[in-house]
Structure formats: C-alpha cells, structure tokens
A and B are shown apart, each in its own frame.
Chain A
Amino acid sequence: MIQEFKKIWKQYAITMLWLLGLLWPLLGIHPDGTLSFKQTVNVWSYIFAGTFICFIFYIINKSGNFEFFTKPVVNTSQKLGDIVQAMPSWIWKSALLIGAIIYPILTGRYPTDVVINVLLYICLGLGLYVVVGLAGMLDLGHIAFYGVGAYTYAILNVQYGIGFWVCFPLAGLTACIAGCIVGYPTLRMRGDYLAIVTLGFGEIVRIILNNWMSLTNGPNGILGVKTIGILRPVMENGLTFEIFWVKKLEYFYYFALALAILTIIAVTRINFSRIGRALEAIREDETAAELMGVNTFYYKLLAYAMGAVFAGFAGALFAARMKFVSPESFTFLESVMVLSMVVLGGMSSIPGIILGVIALIVLPEVFRELESYRMLVFGLTMIIMMLFRPSGLIAAKRKKMMETKS
C-alpha cells in the first residue's frame, strides 16, 4: 500500500517541509530582532498532526478499505437523487419558498440581515451571469450599474422627493442606459481588452460618484434616503389608505426575496429562449454565430444592458435598505466579489450561482470568530473549492429537450 502511494507520500513530505520553511519567518522572527523556534514548531506540529490524520484517512479511502462505509452512503445518496429527480419540481420549489418565507420569523435580526445581503447579491450575480456566463464577456465593472441604480434612487428621493415605486423602474432604466453607453463603443472588443475596458468603466463611475459634489455629495454620500412605502388600507371612518413605511428588517426581507425570485425567473426564461441560445452561441464562437444569423453586436449589447438592469434594480433596493449611499459601496473589490460568486458557483448554471453567492456571503460571516484570520481562511476555502471543483459548485447541465417531445 505504501509503495502505491510513494509519490503522494513524497509530495506530502515536501509540502510539510515547505510549510515549515514558510512558517518560521512569519512566527519566528520578532520585531526586536530576536529569533525563536518554539512557537513555529508548536504551530507546525498542530498542522502536521491534523493533516496527517486527514492524509491517513485519504489513503485508507483510496485503497478501498472504507468501502463498507462509503458504498452504502453513495448508494443511498444516489437513490435520494433519483427520488428528487422523480418528484415534480413544484414540490421542492414550494418547500424552498415556504422555507424562505418563514426564515425571518424563525431567526433573528442578524441572520435576516445576512440573507437580505445574499438576496441582493443573487440579483447582481444573475445579472452578471447574463453577461459572463451566457454571452461570455468578462465584465470587471459590473458593480458600477449597482451604483448607478442606488444613486438614481437616492438622488431622486432625497433631492426631488420621488417615492420608491417610481424610482425603482427609473433605476433600472438609468442602469440600462449606462450599460448601453459603455457597451456601444466597447463591445467590438473581445476577451481581455473588454475586461480592461469594463474595469475602467467601473472605476470611472466610482470616481464620478466621488467627485461630483453638487449631485452626489462626494465621499460623504447621500443620507436620509427613504425606505419603501406602500399604501395600506385602513378601516377607520370608511376605507382610506395610509402610507406604511417598510422600516422593519423582516418586512424589507420580503421585498428583497420578491426581487430575487423575479430575477431568477426572468434570467431562467431568458436562458431558455432564442435570446439565451443566441448569447450562448456568441460565447462559444462569435464568428460562427454571426455567420449563422445572430446579430452578434446587438445581442452583446442586449446582454450588457440586461445585466445592468438587474444590477440597477438591486441597487435601488440596496439604497432603500441602507438609507444611505456612498461611493465606498461600489469599489472594484465588490465587482471582483460578484465575479467570484459567478465563477465559484459555476459559470453557466443558475442554481450554481445562487450557491456561490450564499457561500461567499455566508462564509465570511461564519468565519467571523476567527477574527483577523478570517480573510485568510476565506481565501483558502476559495482556493480549495476551485481546486476540487474547477467548473464551479454546480456545473452547467444541458437541458434535455427530446424527453418532452415524442
């Protein structure tokens, strides 16, 4: 057995030595110039012990000694998968929906807040999915449209006193216009060049927000954005309506949920329509798509505009929740985060992206206890996930079309 795994043993030993070499300068060299070895060896031996146990398990598993345990597990999970497949999809869909609806009742304020974040990022991620996953255009400035949407609502609300329900479509519209303005001159470019241009656009938007003092109040941001107001019937002296401000986080949650669900439905429908096919054809081979009758320029622009609209809607909701917007929220890092969610979840599958969003929002919250090591662990988890699942958490599945026929 050891002979078989000689190569792995060797690799493991080298890795552990490398780790020791890496750890010592980090832990062993002190600011006052003294050197020590004790702490390094201590930390290293803990890591060594942990990984060694994992490694032993790995080897036993590889050599098949665990089959008495793994085989039934795999079998049952397969059977479970078959049962889920056989179930009509509305059962688990409605179960998920009910779960989502009662979630804020069951949990507290903090988990609800995290999930609102998840829902907003689902809208953003799915918008980016249309651009990156379907049309295959690398977009590093997607957050700019989120910012445009958020600022549209904030400015219209604070300066002109216009309510949320009027501003909401306007936020989508301005984001769409912004998308077209950037897209029109730039979408002739392909690949890396496009990525650079979109990156530049994202930064331009942030800098404009930061410097156009008279309109955006610069880095101080805009304060006092009103939340969503809905008309509520009141039965005092006849039927009248009063404005009800959605101030409680639990109520706000439902708006975010509704937007996320609508976005999921919209993107799914676009995905499985002639538009989705045209976009996928562009991703696979732009020249061939053009020669097969797809107006590639128009559809690339459309993809960009659609992605922008979803981001704009999410932005308006974001402004309504925070009651405050500032350029700080729309940095390049945020664009990268959204892109990571899409890539990590699985570039071209909608459930994958949702899972990716959940992972990237929830994991940093879970790791909060690790304090300063949080981002380190977070980064490590990402690397491990990409190593083991390079095509994303849930890889794209082609829809079988023949089964519905015949």
Chain B
Amino acid sequence: MAHLELKNITVRFGGLYALSELSFAIHTGEILGLIGPNGAGKTTIFNVLTGVYKPTEGDVIFEGESILGKKPHKIFSRGVARTFQNIRLFSKMTALENTMVAMHCRSTKGVMGALLRTNSQKAEEAYIKEKALEALKFMGVIQFADTVASNLPYGSQRRLEIARALASEPKVLLLDEPAAGMNPSESSELMKDIARISERGIDVLLVEHDMKVVMGVCNRIVCVEHGIKIAEGSPQEIQNNPKVIEAYLGQPAATHD
C-alpha cells in the first residue's frame, strides 16, 4: 500500500526542469532508497515532499489525501519528518532543546499557559521532555542532552538530527545523506539504526551516496537522473540495471568480450 506517493511531479525553475513527470511511492513498512548522481533532483524531491517547493505540476498524496500546497509545518505535524543534507541543527540550543522543538506540533499550550504556568502546562512540558529524551536515547546521544548542539562531534550531530526528526513520532522519515562524512564503522552503525527505525513502524526514504549503506538496508531503490526516474526495483535489480550503471559510470566506449 502506498503511504506517501508522488504523482507525475514536475518542478520547473524558469526554464530548468528539476523534476519532470516523476512518480514513485513509499509503501507502508519499507525502507526506500533514492539514488542518483549529483544534481539529479533528490533534494528537490525532499523539498516537494515536505512542502518547501510547490511543484509546477503533479500531486503529493499522503495517507490517501493530497498534501499539495500545505505549509511545511502542517506536513510535519501530519507525520512527514526529514533531516538535512548539510546539518541544520539549532546550533546555540542544547541537544535536548533541539529535540523538544520537534515536539512543538504535538503540544498545544499557548502564551497564557506559559505565563500562568498551570498544572496542565507543566504536565505538557514534562511530556515533551520525556518524549525528547526517549528520542535521544533511541539514537544514542542521550549523554549530550545538555550540550549545545554546535559543540557535538560531527557524527553525533547527524544522529541528533535524526533524533529530532523522530521525537514527534512521524509516520514517514526522510533522510538526506545521513552517512555523509561518516567513517565505515559509523555508517554501519547508522545502517543498524535505520533498520531499528523501520522496526518502529516508520517508513524511511533514504537518499544516500554510500552504496554500501543503500544496498545493505533498503528494500527497494529508485534511481533518478536529471529529474527523471530511470529505474526502480530491488537492490539486486538496480545493481544490474544497465541504465543505472550508465548513469553512474557513463556509456561504455566499446564492448569487451
């Protein structure tokens, strides 16, 4: 069953087609890999899914409803969370506060609640904190809870970003190159984490250049080039797909026998 679906998405910046007629779906319970050379439009897909860009044509369906044209924060509160290719933490806030921000859409108390510090407001704050700590623990960065985000080691910053996205208990998690800049042992750790996230019943869309990670953890892979989907299938199928090989390695000059 399709959980989050892109239907014939076209994104045009002036005369440039960033995506054209692109369709694919993230099914319930799967880890979908999204690969493609640099500039293929992977991050544009993320921006369309999260509401940052409004596609020129096409539709985005989430849980049977169109989320096209909805504000990013509305889409997030419906359950589509993401991380960023270049880490975008709230750098002067602590790790715990970063994660607590994501709980914003799951809480309701306003100015009056904050001013009067009512019991229900205190209870809500405690709930927010508990959920945030849970997410930090899940991603193994609980020891940094009181550390200012910019002082965290690089790998932990990546993990914190995932923790922040997870705190609100999303239904779909979009990971934009989470293994970028990680060493082999860190990225194999990350693969385990992605599998654990999937076990929690969260669908994952993974954009990644590290093929070991993509092939190791994804159930299905979509390959895009120049904003067009060129292949879709299981990791084995993708690995043997001549179009994918061509996109990554270029056209063979001559065939060898």
Contacts and interface: CB of A to CB of B under 8 A. Distances in A.
Interface of A: 266, 269-270, 273-278, 280-281, 284-285, 287-296, 302, 306, 348, 396, 398, 400-402, 405
B138 interface: no
Contacts of B110: 275
A292 B102 contact: yes
Which of A278, A284, A402 has its CB near the most chain B CB atoms (within 10 A)? A284
A295 B111 CA distance: 15
Contacts of A348: 92
Contact of A400 (B71, B104, B146): B146
Nearest to A284: B90
Nearest to B97: A277
27 contacts: A269-B114, A269-B115, A269-B117, A273-B113, A273-B121, A273-B125, A274-B104, A277-B93, A278-B101, A278-B104, A280-B92, A280-B97, A287-B52, A288-B88, A290-B71, A291-B72, A292-B73, A292-B101, A293-B73, A293-B77, A293-B105, A294-B105, A295-B71, A348-B92, A398-B93, A398-B97, A405-B129
Contacts of A302: 111
A293 B106 CA distance: 9
B109 interface: yes
Given A269-B117, A274-B125, A284-B92, A398 B146 contact: yes
B111 A293 contact: no
B61 interface: no
A133 B43 CA distance: 32
B20 interface: no
Given A293-B77, A293-B104, A275 B114 contact: yes
A398 B50 CA distance: 31
Nearest to B133: A405
B146 A277 contact: no
A306 B112 CA distance: 12
B91 A293 contact: no
A328 B124 CA distance: 46
Given A270-B115, A288-B89, A405-B133, 5 more contacts: A274-B114, A275-B114, A284-B93, A292-B102, A401-B146
Contacts of B102: 292-293
Contacts, number: 110
Interface string B185-203: 0000000000000000000
A285 B90 contact: yes
A273 B124 CA distance: 10
Contact of B145 (A278, A290, A295, A402): A402
Contacts of A280: 90, 92-93, 97
B34 to A, nearest CB: 18
A281 B102 CA distance: 10
Main secondary structure of the interface of A (DSSP, over half): helix
A285 B88 contact: yes
Nearest to A401: B96
B62 interface: no
Contacts of B90: 280-281, 284-285, 288-289
Contacts of B53: none
A270 B111 contact: yes
Nearest to B142: A402
Given A274-B109, A292-B104, A401 B94 contact: yes
A171 B94 CA distance: 37
Interface in B125-147: 125, 128-129, 133, 145-146
A302 B50 CA distance: 24
Contacts of B100: 274, 277
A152 B249 CA distance: 72
The 5 closest A-B pairs by CB, nearest first: A293-B105, A273-B114, A284-B90, A293-B76, A288-B88
Contacts of A288: 84, 88-90
Nearest to B150: A284
Interface in B200-243: none
B96 A289 contact: no
Nearest to A285: B88
A292 B89 CA distance: 10
Nearest to B105: A293
Nearest to B129: A401
A306 B104 contact: no
A214 to B, nearest CB: 36
B171 interface: no
Interface in B18-38: none
A270 B97 contact: no
Contact of A292 (B52, B76, B124): B76
A398 B91 CA distance: 12
Contact of A398 (B76, B133, B148): B148
A289 B129 contact: no
Contacts of A284: 89-93
A389 B95 CA distance: 26
Contacts of B168: 293
Contacts of A275: 110-111, 114
A273 B109 contact: yes
B82 interface: yes
B205 to A, nearest CB: 15
B54 interface: no
B90 to A, nearest CB: 4
Interface in B55-98: 71-73, 76-77, 81-82, 84, 88-94, 96-97
A348 B91 CA distance: 14
Which of A273, A275, A302, A348 has its CB near the most chain B CB atoms (within 10 A)? A273
A89 to B, nearest CB: 16
Which of B111, B128, B146 has its CB near the most chain A CB atoms (within 10 A)? B111
